[in-house]
Structure 1
Amino acid sequence: MSEYQYYEFQALDKPLSEKDREVLRAISSRAQITSTSLVNEYNYGNFKGDPLKLVEKYFDAFLYITNWGTHQFMLKIPRKLIDLDLASQYCIGDSWTIYEKGDYLIFDFTSETEDYDWEEGEGSLSPLISLRSDLIRGDYRCLYLAWLFCAQMGEIDDDEEEPPVPANLGNLNASLESFADFMRLDKDLIQVAAENSIAEQKSVQNDQKLKLWISGLPNSEKDTIIFRLINDNDPHIGNELLQRFRNTLSIKDTQNNGKASRTVMKLLQKTEAYTKEKDRQIAEQKAKEKARKEKEAAIAREKYLTGLVGRENEIWKKVDTLILAKKPKAYDEAIRLLIDLKDLAKKNNTTSLFKSKLMAIREDHSRKASFINRIDSANLLLG
């Protein structure tokens, strides 16, 4: 089997210049390069560039997928838009890293597995892109999920307590679902972790606090902000202000709940118990469904057999006709009718008569090996 590697880079805030594209072309002559992206697939050989350095200089998002089980995903975000102290609380373990690069932070997530199927990377980055906007808006759920994956992989000490649990962890959007799948995160572990996450709606109280904060800004600063909105091409002015506002909120304002943090061991143990109980309930439901279908089938079979009562001789004659046809489909139909006759005999306490007639048929057609094999396979003489 040949190797497969998929690389995709995306520039979101600023398009690539012509000079940028020339530099990238020198790195890879076969890559698909546009003003906002670089995509390359390899079945043999390797990409010559350093993805981290390329993200640092040119791009805002990166995805890497191989056919030997490696998933890697990077996001670059302006440092001023992220609460680094809070984000760092989630960055424990080997499967993800925060790189500080000048005015930017690069979040690097990796998932490795030995239990993999062949997969291709095209279309895998798009569902993850909006995580960047979520982080910029202060939604750190993907960082908690990354921490949770490190716990799942045994990269964090058992007695280590979890970082702050973000709101709405039990209601993941499409990008977060894609991220969980990409990282191969146990869905039951997410479910258990979400028990300490509140379902938070947009806060009217915080809206009022935001309005008061804005009204308290000096007029000279407001003038500067308006000038930047009109004159600059910075797409993050609003988010920068929102980050400044969030930094003014007290710890009480930003806490999600009063529940105690759980240790890694407690989360994993509770997940194991949750999975066992879920599997038990599923097995119980399947058993009930199976019993229901079997009961319905038995009722239908009984009704069908009742309709055959008194037609036994007619059915025996039809069996003879089908056998004489010497065709596989006719043999199969004859066996189905013989099964009906067997069940009718059991219903009417005439099993001995059925067996004697069947033995006669078997003797008369003993040279029809295909038909005799069908009789034996159907166990018509048993029971």
Structure 2
Amino acid sequence: MTLIRELSRRGFLNMGAAAGLGLMLPKTGLIRPAFAAAPLPPVAEEAAMIAWGYVGPTADEGWTWAHDQGRLAVEKAFPKLKTSFVESVPYSADASRIYRQFVADGANMVFANSNYGDFLYDVAKRAPEVAFYECDGRLAMENLGTYYVQHWYPSYVTGVAAGLMSKTGKLGYVASFPVPSVYSGTNAFLMGARSVNPAATVQAIVINSWFDPQAAAQAGTALLDNGCDVLFGIMDEAAYLQVAEQRGAKAVMWNTDIRRYGPSAYISSIMVDFGPWYVEQVRRRLAGEWTPSEDILPMAKGVDRDAWGESVPPEVAAQADAAREKILSGWSPFTGEIKDSNGAIKVAAGQTMTERELYEWNWSIEGVSGLDA
């Protein structure tokens, strides 16, 4: 394994990339092939090199750490191949240089664990013999697929718990950027809370970073000062959980189980597990079966809630898990009527949002403040 370090912080996601092919996503999981292209030829395991470009540090105990666990799962499943990774790939021309270096080093497959847009696409176009995947990507190509997780479902489930546990009905959200993953997370969380407390609201504060403990702690403090008593967010570290612990509030986290930083505050976390998916894609590449796909991993098979925290009452856990079981049985909570933050009807009564719409969600529902301009 080789390690190259890049010290730049994660850049802003390129949400202006072309939309690519339509994502017709069943709640059961994988989407469909992106192109009816011929598979890339097989590669002997001992001759293979698989590379990862990471948006953050592997020690973040968050998003990048979770992806790196998937890389380690690949090494365990295929001990004869080599893996390589670069941490904290910047959102700049340096990203293209890093991905070009992977190709020059002989990579047969390259994963980007965030959206790098043209900085990745230009490299993929010039290396048709290499398989590429872009996490949270918006454009599929003949040798580039996309992957992500249906995090909006466990966000809804934890929202049910938050709505039951909140005394003020005011929920706070520490947001990275106003991007679809944040809109879908805040909206789903509030819809879960409103299923048990119709008066609940969510106030978001955007800190323009995925990993900034100081800014996240300041945002969490401000939200609690404003009357919120349950915090949620999409950070790659535990700062706002620590604030909630110190202030006697509650919190729902993202990526991994970090309850040790706030055991009394911890409700749950949106947990991601890319290991089985990474292993399967590498297997397909080695076997000569790989063609690009657009995959979104479903709840219970790539994303889920964590085990409930010690302060979550059994009756709260049971009610939230009842919603989880309904979703796993095929029910969608994202059925209209749904209004946006200005009161306009965006989803008509009886209409259910498609997975594509959930993936691309770029507006706040009624009751969420702080994201829309």
Q: TM-score range by the shorter chain?
A: under 0.3
Structure holding more strand per residue: 2
Q: Which has the larger radius of gyration?
A: 1
Q: Which has the higher contact order (CA 8 A, sep 6+)?
A: 2
> TM-score scaled by structure 1?
0.24
> TM-score scaled by structure 2?
0.24
